[in-house]
Amino acid sequence: MAVTVIGGGIFGVTAALALRIRGHEVDLFDPDSPHPDAASTDISKVVRADYGADDTLTALGRRALLGWREWNSTFSRPLFHEEGFLLLSRTQMEPGGFEHESFRRQPNLRRVAPGFREAHPDWNADAYPDGYFNPAGGWAESGEVVRQLGERARAAGVRIVAEQTTVERVAGPCVVAAGAWTHHLLPELADRLRAVGQPVLHFRPQDPDPFRWRAPRFPVWAADISRTGWYGFPANADGLVKVANHGVGIEVDPTGPREVPPEWEERFRAFLRESIPALAHAPRVGERLCLYSDSFDGDFLIDRVPGRSDVFVAAGGSGHGFKFAPVLGELIADVVDGLAPHPRFAWRELGERRTEDARHA
């Protein structure tokens, strides 16, 4: 009997491909993959193994990095841009702090000082006396990755059904990978998964120098992220500079309107005025309220759903799931094949609310 995967975002499409490669018949349902409202559908996502004191996610992040490097040669063009990751701190890096704990777990890092002003002149170095640059990592063109993996799944024999569906309509094994909509399809998960909106703004700096807002001068960055939430990207091929905030966010109904509350633009510009002054007045050319499938403890949920026969959940990306794309498919296919779930993502009792170390919440 075919395995049905509900949701063609990065969790669903990697699961469908991995299950198909293992010989399963697979039906993948999504009204439109990559879907414009899906979290995975964006111009860019950070790919990092910098996870503070979290050794498990640091190791998994490293495995995923190897996968991205391999995947790059299989895409029509490299979609993972390994240009490094700049992590800045508003104070000296201290033991216990996100930057310090990440720094001491990674090899070959360059501390930003001295030379920060010369290497990254668009930053207000006075506001960021410390931090480091990690050459391992960068960003991926997430929407295009999902599109190309979808094509690969179709070519491998996955039946792609451009429709919405429900668990009740599925006969046989079913993987619910519906992102922020997951707890609507599995109401018993509403106590552990929420839909949380995060504002994303796109700016188009008017600079004659096409390389100004590109790496190495302006790589993917996190600005004291665990204490502010701010992070962003170099300009993409269309000259768009994306800035976002990995913070508390706004709890929303995933089926409701997706508007960025107007007060957020001023918050973005206030941050830019202080940190990247030359970007503070750039025209805003796009905005998006993108939804996290937020788990109660910031960890993914990849396991069999208790009390249901042959229903599996793969969700809870909590704002940091995309980078693990190269390892997600196998983790999800394992639980469908009756193998042990990854211990961090297995079904677990509801517990204390927490988030991953980089998140300001």
Ligand X SMILES: Cc1cc2nc3c(=O)[nH]c(=O)nc-3n(C[C@H](O)[C@H](O)[C@H](O)COP(=O)(O)OP(=O)(O)OC[C@H]3O[C@@H](n4cnc5c(N)ncnc54)[C@H](O)[C@@H]3O)c2cc1C
Contact positions toward ligand X, by CB under 6 A?
Answer: 6-12, 29-31, 33, 35, 38-40, 45-46, 164-165, 177-181, 185, 198, 200, 244, 290-293, 315, 317, 319-323
Q: Residue 195 — φ and ψ, nearest 5°?
A: -95, 120
The DSSP code for 323 is: G
User: Dihedral of the CA atoms 293, 299, 302, 303 (nearest 10)?
Assistant: -120
Please, which residue, 109 or 291, has the CB nearer to ligand X?
Answer: 291
Q: Is residue 89 within 8 Å of 131, Cβ to Cβ?
A: yes
Please, which residue, 113 or 268, has the CB nearer to ligand X?
Answer: 268
Shortest distance in whole angstroms from residue 62 CB to ligand X: 14
Please, which residue, 75 or 207, has the CB nearer to ligand X?
Answer: 75
Q: Spell out the alpha helix ranges (H) of the chain.
A: 10-21, 55-72, 98-103, 116-119, 142-156, 182-185, 225-228, 263-275, 325-336
Shortest distance in whole angstroms from residue 16 CB to ligand X: 11
Residue 23, number of CB atoms within 10 A of its CB: 8
Please, which residue, 56 or 92, has the CB nearer to ligand X?
Answer: 56
Shortest distance in whole angstroms from residue 358 CB to ligand X: 10
Shortest distance in whole angstroms from residue 283 CB to ligand X: 21
Burial category of 77 from C-beta neighbours within 10 Å (exposed 0-12, middle 13-18, buried 19 and up): exposed
Shortest distance in whole angstroms from residue 319 CB to ligand X: 5
Spatial neighbors of 328 by CB under 8 A, at least 6 apart, are 10, 11, 14, 15, 302, 314, 321
Please, which residue, 226 or 293, has the CB nearer to ligand X?
Answer: 293
